């Protein structure tokens, strides 16, 4: 049997292992194949940019300039202000525009949700949270559930992670309340919001679920969620540029509010590329990382607060995504993390 046929079969099998809607893999794959049929080693790279990055050379099949043009064209973006490609832990392409540089933090918008997801994974790995099938209300015995919305009692942590909780927050007045001076527990506030559907019935992207998740982290860890993030995630990875907006009472919002540099974005993506390992420590459980991408390859499919990303010729890519096109694209099949910052339009 020819090498090309073997590579095709391996790629075909890996597709179903990772992306079948019913697949629930629990281990890091032992065999991976690049988009061009190149067999990639199962072990990771021994490159840790905690202090600084090293420069590398892009393989011949990786064309960063073409990738940026495709990202901009596919999303109708007229400009970018930062673009970085990490391959096997080394920077193989980095460029900035419009006055930005490697030390300029960029507002991440909903990339914050993916950071929140990582914090939940860390909390699960440390035993602070029992698992994604835990009922949310069990962590909030003091929550007030309005009459007629008793199905909130069936809401699980996985419902929050996959945006299928049924709770929506759409009115501007709701967010004014969130940032009010007397806001002391965002999760309890969220329980009072209207529930449109029963948990698990329908995907509906919202900004409420991430704040409930941060509330669980605060209650189980005894720490402010921002302090937890600094200790468990930002500091171990060397993410020194991160800023996170908070309420008047010092509570971060799990849905948005983070700013960071493209290099720190790359560090975050590289943690997922390494299946949660950083240096000599497993910060994020490997099986959490495997379960994070969407279960389906459909366009705009949603996983544990990460989106499916379809960029030819890559397969199996998933992304943290923020408004205006803040991308952290993780491509396990070819050892690559792609970071793009910018805006939709530029005057």
- Cα 228–234–237 angle (5° rounding)? 135
Distance CA(148)–CA(47), nearest Å, equals 54
pLDDT band at 341 (very low <50, low <70, confident <90, very high): very high
What tokens were used for 168?
């929506």
CA distance 165 to 151: 10
Average pLDDT over residues 19-29: 39
Q: How far apart are CA 303 and CA 92, in angstroms?
A: 28
Q: What was the pLDDT predicted at 223?
A: 94
The pLDDT-based confidence of 47 (bands split at 50, 70, 90) is very high
Task: Return d(Cα 339, Cα 325) in angstroms, integer.
Answer: 10
Question: Over the stretch 119-169, which tens digit does the pLDDT of each residue have?
Answer: 999 999 999 999 999 999 999 998 888 888 889 999 999 999 999 998 876
Domain 105-260 fold: Beta-lactamase (3.40.710)
Residue 15 has pLDDT above 80, yes or no: no
The pLDDT value given to residue 30: 54
Domain boundaries, the chain: 3-104+261-343, 105-260
pLDDT digits (tens, 9 = 90+) for 190-217: 788 888 889 999 998 888 899 899 999 9
pLDDT of residue 247: 77
pTM of the model as a whole: 0.84
Q: How far apart are CA 259 and CA 245, in angstroms?
A: 8
Angle CA 258–261–266, to nearest 5: 100
């Amino acid at each position: 049997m020819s090498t090309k046929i073997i590579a095709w079969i391996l790629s075909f099998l890996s597709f179903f292992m990772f992306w079948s809607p019913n697949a629930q893999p629990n281990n890091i794959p032992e065999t991976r194949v690049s988009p061009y049929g190149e067999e990639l080693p199962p072990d990771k790279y021994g490159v840790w940019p905690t202090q600084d990055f090293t420069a590398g050379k892009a393989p011949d099949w990786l064309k960063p300039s073409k990738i940026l043009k495709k990202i901009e064209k596919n999303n109708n973006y007229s400009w970018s202000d930062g673009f970085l490609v990490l391959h096997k832990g080394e920077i193989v392409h980095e460029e900035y525009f419009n006055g930005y540089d490697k030390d300029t933090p960029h507002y991440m918008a909903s990339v914050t949700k993916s950071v929140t997801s990582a914090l939940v994974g860390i909390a699960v790995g440390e035993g602070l949270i029992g698992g994604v099938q835990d009922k949310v209300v069990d962590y909030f015995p003091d929550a007030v559930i309005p009459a007629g919305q008793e199905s909130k009692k069936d809401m699980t942590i996985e419902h929050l992670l996959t945006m299928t909780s049924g709770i929506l927050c759409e009115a501007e007045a709701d967010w004014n309340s969130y940032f009010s001076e007397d806001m002391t527990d965002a999760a309890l506030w969220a329980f009072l919001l209207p529930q449109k559907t029963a948990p698990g019935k329908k995907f509906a992207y919202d900004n409420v679920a991430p704040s409930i998740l941060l509330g669980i982290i605060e209650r189980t860890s005894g720490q402010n969620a921002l302090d937890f993030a600094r200790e468990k995630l930002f500091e171990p990875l060397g993410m020194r540029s991160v800023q996170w907006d908070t309420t008047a009472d010092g509570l971060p919002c799990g849905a948005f509010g983070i700013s960071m540099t493209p290099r720190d974005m790359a560090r975050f993506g590289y943690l997922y590329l390494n299946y949660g390992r950083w240096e000599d420590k497993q910060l994020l459980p490997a099986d959490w990382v495997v379960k994070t991408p969407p279960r389906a390859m459909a366009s705009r499919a949603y996983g544990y607060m990460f989106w499916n990303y379809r960029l030819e010729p890559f397969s199996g890519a998933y992304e943290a995504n923020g408004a205006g096109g803040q991308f952290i694209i993780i491509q396990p099949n070819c050892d690559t993390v792609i970071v793009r910052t910018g805006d939709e339009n530029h005057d």
